[in-house]
Structure 1
Amino acid sequence: MALEPHLTSMADDGKLHIVMVPWLVFGYMIPYLELTKLVAQKGHKVSFVSTAKNIDRLPKLPPSLSSLLNFVKLPLPLTENLPENADANSDLPYDKVQYLKITFDSMQESMAHFLEASDPDWLLYDFAPYWLGPIAAKLNISSAFFTIMIAACMGFLGPSSAVVHENDDRNKAGDYTVPPKWVSFPSTVAFRLYEVLRMTDSFMGNDSGVSNLHHLAASAKGCDVLAVRSCSEFEPEWLQVLEEIHEKPIFPVGQLPTTAYDEGDDDNNKDARREMKEWLDKQDKGSMVYVAFGSDAKPTQHELTEIALGLELSQLPFFWVLRKRRGLVDTELIELLDGFEERTKGVGVICTSWVPQLKILSHDLVGGFLTHSGWSSVVEAIQFERDLILLTCLADHGLNARLLEEKKIAYSIPRDERDRSFTRDSVAESLRLVIVDEERDVYRDRVKEMKGLFGSRDKQERFAVAEEMSSSSEVSEESSEVVLLVIGGGARRRRMRRV
């Protein structure tokens, strides 16, 4: 097995060595990469662990950080039912993702071997490798479960002990459509029935033998501390819930807004960017709908048709990043209605390849963003003051949407509570309500209020991740979100502390 060069502990020179292990999803890897950058900017060494294919398709990082970053390429074993070269969720149809989790579980030995050889000070791991916490403890390595979910999502899912020991009294779909008993304040954060029914495997399990809910609970149970993609100004009550139900240190690491990356200089990219800019520059300021559902979500054929006709009915210009399939093994291609592109020529653009989302959202003509409500997309929209229209798909999307709705930051397209269907009329009406009609000011004002919290690079810099301080240092009274990995009196086991 080929591993990257051996790395020793950074304790002798006053710097840390931190290992990051994200789940094999682009929307998970990018927040981990943003946190990696913040750690490296403090002068600490970071080993970012994933498969070769995933690391090779990550955006390029600043050359100034190259000496501090070690991208560790561990081979993904060949296993039954997992297609070849399927290294990420986006390479697979939804029903095949369970086999990627099974394969990832088979990497326990290679992960343990790397951790033992590299001897890091801290391990930050995602929900899928729930087995890493116990491995780190056995090797005397401090560990943090860094979840890219917001505090409201983790708080709603509940105490890890209840799930791990199977004594959670939520045993039917309807139980997840109301706030749980451990939430003592008024809240609308809960799944819709259609969201629960769409992903029963996440609660009950599948061929992998371990449900997503169990993955999350076991990850939280096995770590020393829980790091959350959140901040106290945004959801203080949910951070308090996490402290109460997990009974261990909880550290919000900020919203981790996506930063601009080098897109490469190939001629195809240049031509595409030029054509896109020419079209964008012809539109009226604040009038366009940007439509994208992330790297993993894919609407059904019926949903695709209703979205398309809804966009047409709205009479708003649009830029739609359309994903017709999830990986090469996906045989259920979705297609636009015949004549749609011809009818909307000059009004809308359909793009079926990768686009620089940050550059599009930063353009003044974008008035609203129709999204699946994945949190990275939400943060990117708010940092550019773009109004949010939501159409949830899977995973934590529904809980994200409820919190955004509750705070009047976004509007969800109305759907049937049981079969999740929606109509072209509801799409058109929702888009116009948020982007054109008088009601838009409610959402626009709230997004504007949130911009500084979600998009400020200066504010994110305050999350001084992996900053060293001695055990005798005074604790300052700065914001409660600042996270320190503290070296306590030269002890091999590190402590994480908030100041």
Structure 2
Amino acid sequence: MASVNSARKYDTKRSDKVIVVVVPFVAQGHLNLLVHLSRLIASYNLPVYFVGLSVDIAAVKPRIEGWSPSDYPTLRFHEFPAPPAYLSNTNPTMECQSYLEFLASAMNAAAYLRSPIGSLLKELSPKCERLVVVHDALMVNTVKDAVVQNLETYNFFVGSAFHDASLVWEVLRKILHVPSFLWKLVGRFVLPAGAVVPDRLPIPSSCYPPEFFKFIVDQRKTNAFCKGNLFDACRAIEGPYLDLLAMVYKLARKGPVWGIGPFNPVVTKRNTKTDQDSSSKTPRHKCLEWLDKQPPKSVIFVSFGTQTVLSDHQLHELAEGLEQSGQNFIWVVKDLTKGYKNTKINLPAGFEERVEGRGLILRDWVPQLEILDHVSTGGFLTHCGWNSCMESMCRGVPLATWPIQYDQPRNAILITEVLKTGIPIKDWESRDEITTSTTIRNAIRRLMASPEGEELRNKAAEAGRAVKESVMEGGISRLEMDNFIAHITR
């Protein structure tokens, strides 16, 4: 999987029968994952079209890590002009009033792409025996109306298998009108071995803005025509939940399920000074030089992704908690800027001077994979976006969870209650409350400087080894991908 660096020698005559079109949702995390998926499919010597708005594709290409599009001659980037007043989520410095504007723009763009993508599919259809469309699960309505005889469509889910499996399990209970206490008994006999669905899970509608939640539900309602389902999930850690989804989807005639994650490189280059390639002309990021000077497993990495906005009050409590913890840390603060404008954040007076040498404040892009892979990194305080969770698990780094929105609350439960490779700092029930510096301080100390934290690190390292093995030759994720390719080229 992530270790594949060149095209495999599949029968070209067989490959000529199939063209694959990959349709991502117009948001940064979705685009990044699906361009990696496009690379993996192209590695089987299949023609692949990665489609999207020109402004988004222009932003995605420079962020590709670990491979070059030029290494995959069958991979093509097919661009469409952006609609008027389009706010690209790939440009975090663009000024707007709130992230809700980005969401509205993304939903409008999904509808706008329906016509040009439909025209492209009609153009490609006569050139192959089977036209395969792998579309983001949020782009069902964008491709559903394409009138093409030889078309097959497959859903791609960017979140965890646990997230969708737990939702499906709850929906089944409501459809069958089974009381909660009886449903637990049913679960003992029906749930796949190893599958645990906690009693208290966040209500989906509470995790998304109302308009976006309706948009997601509408996609799910019109999903009956797809031929299969791909997940950014690894059976080594989420096997029971992929099995549950496979069981339910088979009954619903929604096609097979494949767990083909992770997509990020499971091993990064130059994560310590001694590992640096002397022939490389690219300088290491300053944070890696700083990490080289810290003791092993002593640094907690703090980052909330590209969409999170914390109040000034909460920012100050977080700063004080980090200071009081006494732990070394790297804190990415640029992404917490209000209004998504590239301006400096007002941290507590004197904070940076007081933590100098122990804490590193970064306000620009950081090499997250290399930070997580560094021997000095011992924990990750995260919003629990699935990309960050997977990147951390691949590297055996335990998490301190602080979910903000979307699938993050259920991802946090997977990490803390199911896999037990992290601890909660903030749970979803207290999302509207300020998390105090004392709570933050105590959680960081638990993760970084306690026997419990050491046990979490051991569990995380074990999960990381299993994930790495899954993407190697003969590993379960590689076999799942082989199986999917065999299915679409049958």
Residue 252 of structure 1: aligned partner: 258
User: Using the alignment, how far apart are the partners of 1:157 and 1:270 within structure 2?
Assistant: 44
User: Using the alignment, how far apart are the partners of 1:148 and 1:460 within structure 2?
Assistant: 23
Contact 1:325-1:331 within 8 A present in 2 as well? no
Residue 58 of structure 2: aligned partner: 56
Residue 6 of structure 1: aligned partner: none
Contact 1:298-1:323 within 8 A present in 2 as well? no
Contact 1:257-1:380 within 8 A present in 2 as well? no
After TM superposition, give the deviation of residue 276 of structure 1 in Å. Answer: 2.4
From 304, 322, 329, the equivalent of 1:318 is: 329
Paired residues for 1:68-79 under 5 Å: 68-78=74-84
Residue 412 of structure 1: aligned partner: 424
Residue 144 of structure 1: aligned partner: 154
Paired residues for 1:203-352 under 5 Å: 205-206=210-211, 210-215=214-219, 217-218=220-221, 220-246=223-249, 247=252, 248-259=254-265, 273-324=284-335, 335-352=346-363
Q: Are positions 1:366 and 2:348 aligned together?
A: no
SS in structure 1 at match of 2:295 = coil
> Aligned letter for 1:318?
F
Paired residues for 1:357-436 under 5 Å: 357-405=368-416, 406-415=418-427, 417-418=429-430, 419-436=432-449
Change beyond 3 A, Cα 1:254–1:55: same
After TM superposition, give the deviation of residue 408 of structure 1 in Å. Answer: 0.9
After TM superposition, give the deviation of residue 108 of structure 1 in Å. Answer: 0.6
Contact 2:234-2:467 within 8 A present in 1 as well? no
User: Using the alignment, how far apart are the partners of 1:27 and 1:460 within structure 2?
Assistant: 27
After TM superposition, give the deviation of residue 209 of structure 1 in Å. Answer: 9.1
Change beyond 3 A, Cα 1:453–1:375: farther
After TM superposition, give the deviation of residue 439 of structure 1 in Å. Answer: 0.8
Contact 1:298-1:325 within 8 A present in 2 as well? yes
SS in structure 2 at match of 1:67 = coil
After TM superposition, give the deviation of residue 360 of structure 1 in Å. Answer: 1.2
> Aligned letter for 1:459?
M
After TM superposition, give the deviation of residue 275 of structure 1 in Å. Answer: 2.8
Change beyond 3 A, Cα 1:134–1:63: closer
Contact 1:190-1:399 within 8 A present in 2 as well? no
Q: Percent identity?
A: 22
Unaligned runs of 5+ in 2: 1-10, 271-280
> Aligned letter for 1:485?
I
User: Using the alignment, how far apart are the partners of 1:364 and 1:451 within structure 2?
Assistant: 14
Change beyond 3 A, Cα 1:12–1:277: closer
Q: Which protein has the bigger helix share? A: 2
After TM superposition, give the deviation of residue 39 of structure 1 in Å. Answer: 1.5
Residue range with higher mean Cα deviation, 386-395 or 148-157? 148-157
User: Using the alignment, how far apart are the partners of 1:261 and 1:282 within structure 2?
Assistant: 19
> Aligned letter for 1:67?
P
Residue range with higher mean Cα deviation, 115-124 or 363-372? 115-124
User: Using the alignment, how far apart are the partners of 1:286 and 1:222 within structure 2?
Assistant: 48
Change beyond 3 A, Cα 1:159–1:258: same
Contact 2:136-2:156 within 8 A present in 1 as well? yes
Change beyond 3 A, Cα 1:237–1:281: closer
> Aligned letter for 2:216?
N
> Aligned letter for 2:235?
S
> Aligned letter for 2:73?
S
User: Using the alignment, how far apart are the partners of 1:363 and 1:390 within structure 2?
Assistant: 20
From 438, 462, 465, the equivalent of 1:449 is: 462
User: Using the alignment, how far apart are the partners of 1:359 and 1:50 within structure 2?
Assistant: 28
Change beyond 3 A, Cα 1:258–1:155: same
Q: Deviations over 1:371-393 (max 9, x none)?
A: 11112211211222212111111
> Aligned letter for 1:383?
C
After TM superposition, give the deviation of residue 348 of structure 1 in Å. Answer: 0.9
SS in structure 2 at match of 1:353 = coil
Residue 15 of structure 2: aligned partner: 14
Unaligned runs of 5+ in 1: 1-9, 264-268, 466-478, 488-493
Q: Are positions 1:438 and 2:439 aligned together?
A: no
User: Using the alignment, how far apart are the partners of 1:331 and 1:56 within structure 2?
Assistant: 20
Q: Are positions 1:95 and 2:95 aligned together?
A: no
Q: Deviations over 1:339-395 (max 9, x none)?
A: 211221111111111111111111111111111111221121122221211111111
Residue 28 of structure 2: aligned partner: 26
Residue 117 of structure 2: aligned partner: 111
> Aligned letter for 1:213?
V
User: Using the alignment, how far apart are the partners of 1:262 and 1:281 within structure 2?
Assistant: 14
User: Using the alignment, how far apart are the partners of 1:49 and 1:307 within structure 2?
Assistant: 40
SS in structure 2 at match of 1:223 = coil
Residue 274 of structure 2: aligned partner: none
Contact 1:382-1:455 within 8 A present in 2 as well? no
Residue 129 of structure 1: aligned partner: 139
Contact 2:27-2:106 within 8 A present in 1 as well? no
User: Using the alignment, how far apart are the partners of 2:214 and 2:205 within structure 1?
Assistant: 17
> Aligned letter for 1:484?
F
Contact 1:88-1:100 within 8 A present in 2 as well? no
For normalisation by structure 2, the TM-score amounts to: 0.79
User: Using the alignment, how far apart are the partners of 1:71 and 1:379 within structure 2?
Assistant: 26
Change beyond 3 A, Cα 1:457–1:240: closer
> Aligned letter for 2:100?
D
How many equivalent residue pairs? Answer: 442
Q: Deviations over 1:244-291 (max 9, x none)?
A: 43323332233224127999xxxxx956x3532332222111100111
User: Using the alignment, how far apart are the partners of 1:145 and 1:221 within structure 2?
Assistant: 11
Paired residues for 1:468-487 under 5 Å: 482-486=482-486
Change beyond 3 A, Cα 1:219–1:126: farther
SS in structure 2 at match of 1:335 = coil
**Pairwise CA RMSD:** 3.7
Change beyond 3 A, Cα 1:221–1:150: farther
